Chains A and B, each alone.
Chain A
Amino acid sequence: MKKDISLYLDSKNVLFLKAATKKEALSELIDALARSSGIADKNELEEGIWQREKLMSTGIGLGIAVPHVRIKSVKDPVLAVGLSSEGIKDYESLDNNPVRIIIMIAAGEKQHAMYISLLSAVTSVLKEASVRDKILASASPEEIYSTLTGS
């Protein structure tokens, strides 16, 4: 599982979020992904992410959210991870708790199988309480990166 994440997560895309709202938080992550090499069209990513959030929030409870999208302008799947120290209260999570860990996934339009297994890997890893605790207690992005990738 962690190996899957290590393949697609760039340590530069792990950040401590300054955002207090869902909108700001997602923007920070989108900016991070746009800076990384795989994404050619930032607008498409932004529209895709928000279109998906409108259908149903990706806050899945336990302080976790996994916004995700498949779009044309992505070549290989990419991940971005954000940690909020305060918690994002307006994220609309399944358990109504503030969201603290956000992992954004963007994949290419035709990378269906890879996309599903990456989503599955991310949720399985985050379901372990020890992993979540370790991330929340991290002092640097590098620490979060190594927790998630097992490196």
Chain B
Amino acid sequence: MNILCGINLISPETNLNLMLLVGICILAGTVGARIFQRLKIPQVVGYIVIGLIIGEAGLKVISAKTIEVLRPFTYFALGIIGFIIGGELKTDLFRRFGKQFFAMVIGEGLGAFLIVTPLTALFMWLATHNFALSIAISIVIGAISSATDPASTIQVLWEYKTRGLLTTAVMAIVALDDALALTLYAFATNIADLFIGKTSISISHSVFQFSYELLGAAALGIIFGYILKKSFRYLNEHDKMLPFSIGLILVTIGLSSVLDLDIILSSMFFGITTVNLIPKRSEETFELVKKFAPPIYVLFFVFVGARLQLSHLSFMIIIIAVIYLIGRSFGKIIGAYVGAKFSGASDNVKKYSGLCLFTQGGVAVGLSIMASRKFSPEIADIIITVVTTTTLVVQLVGPSFVKYAVKKAGEIGLNLTEEELIATYKVKDVMDVTPPVIRTNAVLGDILKTFSKSDYFAYPVIDSENMLAGFITFQEVKHVLTTTGLDALLLAHDIMNPIRDITTPETPLKEALEQMKQTNTNFICAVENAQSRKLAGFLDSNKVNMKLAEELISRRKKAEGII
């Protein structure tokens, strides 16, 4: 008997093996991301579009029920994202920018709320002439509009390796505005209850409810941060550190779920506690978790797309969705601007933060589902469909705005490692295009002169037609210097080495460096193209390393100059 028969491995709708489905989602998502990357659109949009295609709104390969079964993966992704965002939030950042972050979260959240609510209310009142219903629906929708999706925003920041004031501010804002959204939602549902005359749970009870959610999440995260710190001394190997950290994240997620706490917030507090208790030692942990996470993110975003249903769209809902989108976008932009101005933030943060805050995801959808349980089916339907539809739109459009904003602020590519920087270069970007060369008919005296003028270890030798003929290193010259009587007899041609390896200016730098490593040399000559032997440049590993180091330092300085 199959020992797994008790476990639901079969999708209820499609009968597809769930693991197969997960695999297909991850593979298809990755392909989608690659296509969108080619189109210079953030990869996260590719994941979501693939989800749309195979999900409820498209081919229905994956159904809402299946997604429900796979919900743990979504929680897992949220937990990891929360943990990693937490890892970016060191206390000295809050000491320096705490006021700014706070002002901007309040600004962008309230901005969206205060614009979406009255506009929606006005439209609904004109459409239904039901004042109470209009207020009730619009205030809940307004509150939900304040939430931002950290996941896709942060994905874009990671994809483009951004670093700087705007990046820091946006990371903090998207992480923290869940808390504001929960607060506004608690407030809004109470007001809504008052208007539609439902026997309300008292305000004090709901204040207690969201305080519990926030403080509980914080407490849980802090406890696990301490546990990780205490366990650290036993975790000096990667193969122990990664599973243990992931295990702790999973337990945090599980407990948050059991205790009805916000998953992102509790795992974010876990991350914050870890990074502040053991800032140096935890660097590696965060790196490991980051490297482990991509398949889970891909799945998460594919599910975001797959879950979206567009069948309930009515004219009124479309209008509300449009009002919501426009009002929310302006609310975020204006609110973030006012918050940034009020707290004395830099120009880039003032101008571009709002554009990074359009995405909405799990929290908004979650709140809309919670709201649907609270209200009658007619209200519930409007709220859920508006939030779902607008989520689709902002998830497809939002990432590109994030990219636009960080590009404008000049923060793209400032957070590269050396390896990533190398991957962005071709040989022509770092080669010496006018290297000192030795002619084939140069006599010893000329060769020595060339050596003395420059600090290369090797020099290309070219013939009368500027074609690459060989190279001379100090080694060959040394041999000649220890012999006598050869001055009249020896030319560069006689002592040069034949060319074994060449590269071209268009070759990726990584490939050329790999080639040098394999042949155990620290230089390589670049010829115009594979067919030609015309010298185009010279690549010396020392010079390349110096250039890379300079570039990394200058990028870091650029980022820190604005941090």
Quick check: which of B286-294, B450-458, B485-493 contacts chain A, the rest being far away? B485-493
Q: Mark B430-473, 1 if CB is under 8 A from A, else 0.
A: 00000000001100000000000000000000000000000000
Q: Nearest residue in A to B463 (C-beta to C-beta)?
A: A55
In whole angstroms, how far apart are the Cα atoms of A113 and B481 in the complex? Answer: 11
Which of B476, B489, B493, B498 contacts A109 (CB under 8 A)? B498
A119 near B489 (CB under 8 angstroms)?
Answer: yes
Contacts of B440 in A (CB 8 A): 55
Q: How far is the CB of B336 from chain A (nearest CB, A)?
A: 67
A56 near B486 (CB under 8 angstroms)?
Answer: no
Q: Does B484 contact A (CB under 8 A)?
A: yes
Contacts of A66 in B (CB 8 A): 489
Q: Does B309 contact A (CB under 8 A)?
A: no
Q: Does A58 contact B (CB under 8 A)?
A: yes
Give the interface centre of B441, B479, B494 by most chain A CB atoms within 10 Å: B494
B493 near A55 (CB under 8 angstroms)?
Answer: yes
How large, as a class, is the contact surface on chain A?
Answer: 20 to 34
A116 near B485 (CB under 8 angstroms)?
Answer: no
In whole angstroms, how far apart are the Cα atoms of A127 and B497 in the complex? Answer: 28
In whole angstroms, how far apart are the Cα atoms of A141 and B489 in the complex? Answer: 25
Q: How far is the CB of A2 from chain B (nearest CB, A)?
A: 15
Q: Interface residues, chain A, CB within 8 Å of chain B?
A: 51-52, 55-56, 58, 60-61, 66, 68, 70, 72, 94, 109, 112-113, 116-117, 119-120, 123-124, 127
Q: How far is the CB of A57 from chain B (nearest CB, A)?
A: 10
A127 near B494 (CB under 8 angstroms)?
Answer: no
Give the interface centre of A60, A72, A117, A120 by most chain B CB atoms within 10 Å: A120
Q: Does B376 contact A (CB under 8 A)?
A: no
Interface residues of B in 397-438 (CB under 8 A from A): none
B489 near A58 (CB under 8 angstroms)?
Answer: yes
Name A's interface SS.
helix
Q: How far is the CB of A55 from chain B (nearest CB, A)?
A: 4
In whole angstroms, how far apart are the Cα atoms of A55 and B483 in the complex? Answer: 22
Contacts of A94 in B (CB 8 A): 488
A116 near B480 (CB under 8 angstroms)?
Answer: yes
Contacts of A120 in B (CB 8 A): 483-486
Q: How far is the CB of A101 from chain B (nearest CB, A)?
A: 14
Q: How far is the CB of A35 from chain B (nearest CB, A)?
A: 25
Q: Does B69 contact A (CB under 8 A)?
A: no
Q: How far is the CB of B438 from chain A (nearest CB, A)?
A: 12
B479 near A113 (CB under 8 angstroms)?
Answer: yes
A119 near B498 (CB under 8 angstroms)?
Answer: no
A123 near B485 (CB under 8 angstroms)?
Answer: yes
Q: Can you name 20 A-B residue pairings with CB atoms under 8 Å?
A: A51-B493, A52-B493, A52-B494, A60-B489, A61-B488, A68-B494, A70-B494, A109-B498, A112-B475, A112-B495, A113-B479, A116-B480, A116-B490, A117-B483, A119-B483, A119-B490, A120-B484, A120-B485, A123-B489, A124-B485
A116 near B497 (CB under 8 angstroms)?
Answer: no
Given A123-B486, A127-B485, CB of A116 within 8 Å of CB of B493: no
A55 near B486 (CB under 8 angstroms)?
Answer: no
A119 near B488 (CB under 8 angstroms)?
Answer: no
In whole angstroms, how far apart are the Cα atoms of A58 and B441 in the complex? Answer: 12
B498 near A116 (CB under 8 angstroms)?
Answer: no
Q: How many A-B contacts if CB must be within 8 Å?
A: 50
Q: Mark B485-519, 1 if CB is under 8 A from A, else 0.
A: 11011110111011000000000000000000000
Q: Nearest residue in B to A124 (C-beta to C-beta)?
A: B485
Contacts of B476 in A (CB 8 A): 112
Contacts of A127 in B (CB 8 A): 485
Interface residues of B in 143-191 (CB under 8 A from A): none
Which of A56, A109, A124 contacts B441 (CB under 8 A)? A56
10 tightest CB-CB pairs across the interface, nearest first?
A120-B483, A55-B441, A123-B485, A116-B479, A60-B488, A113-B479, A55-B493, A124-B485, A60-B489, A120-B486
In whole angstroms, how far apart are the Cα atoms of A114 and B480 in the complex? Answer: 11
In whole angstroms, how far apart are the Cα atoms of A47 and B484 in the complex? Answer: 28
Q: Interface residues, chain B, CB within 8 Å of chain A?
A: 440-441, 475-476, 479-480, 483-486, 488-491, 493-495, 497-498
Task: For the A-B complex with A112-B497, A116-B486, A119-B483 known, give 8 more contacts whose Cβ atoms are closer than 8 Å.
Answer: A52-B494, A55-B491, A72-B498, A94-B488, A112-B475, A116-B479, A116-B480, A119-B486
Given A55-B440, A55-B441, A120-B484, CB of A112 within 8 Å of CB of B479: yes
Contacts of B493 in A (CB 8 A): 51-52, 55
Q: How far is the CB of A50 from chain B (nearest CB, A)?
A: 12
Contacts of A116 in B (CB 8 A): 479-480, 483, 486, 490, 495
Contacts of A123 in B (CB 8 A): 485-486, 489
In whole angstroms, how far apart are the Cα atoms of A20 and B497 in the complex? Answer: 34
In whole angstroms, how far apart are the Cα atoms of A87 and B488 in the complex? Answer: 21
Q: Nearest residue in A to B443 (C-beta to C-beta)?
A: A56
In whole angstroms, how far apart are the Cα atoms of A66 and B488 in the complex? Answer: 11
In whole angstroms, how far apart are the Cα atoms of A49 and B545 in the complex? Answer: 40
Q: How far is the CB of A65 from chain B (nearest CB, A)?
A: 10
In whole angstroms, how far apart are the Cα atoms of A123 and B475 in the complex? Answer: 22
In whole angstroms, how far apart are the Cα atoms of A137 and B235 in the complex? Answer: 86
In whole angstroms, how far apart are the Cα atoms of A55 and B486 in the complex? Answer: 16
Contacts of B475 in A (CB 8 A): 112
In whole angstroms, how far apart are the Cα atoms of A113 and B494 in the complex? Answer: 12
Q: How far is the CB of B473 from chain A (nearest CB, A)?
A: 10
Contacts of B489 in A (CB 8 A): 58, 60, 66, 68, 119, 123
Give the interface centre of B476, B480, B483, B484 by most chain A CB atoms within 10 Å: B483
Contacts of B485 in A (CB 8 A): 120, 123-124, 127
In whole angstroms, how far apart are the Cα atoms of A52 and B441 in the complex? Answer: 9
In whole angstroms, how far apart are the Cα atoms of A5 and B459 in the complex? Answer: 31
Contacts of A56 in B (CB 8 A): 441, 491
Contacts of B494 in A (CB 8 A): 52, 68, 70, 119
Q: How far is the CB of B522 from chain A (nearest CB, A)?
A: 18
In whole angstroms, how far apart are the Cα atoms of A66 and B480 in the complex? Answer: 16
Q: How far is the CB of A141 from chain B (nearest CB, A)?
A: 24
Contacts of A119 in B (CB 8 A): 483, 486, 489-490, 494
Contacts of B497 in A (CB 8 A): 112
In whole angstroms, how far apart are the Cα atoms of A120 and B490 in the complex? Answer: 10
In whole angstroms, how far apart are the Cα atoms of A61 and B485 in the complex? Answer: 13
Q: How far is the CB of B440 from chain A (nearest CB, A)?
A: 6
In whole angstroms, how far apart are the Cα atoms of A52 and B483 in the complex? Answer: 21
Q: How far is the CB of B201 from chain A (nearest CB, A)?
A: 88
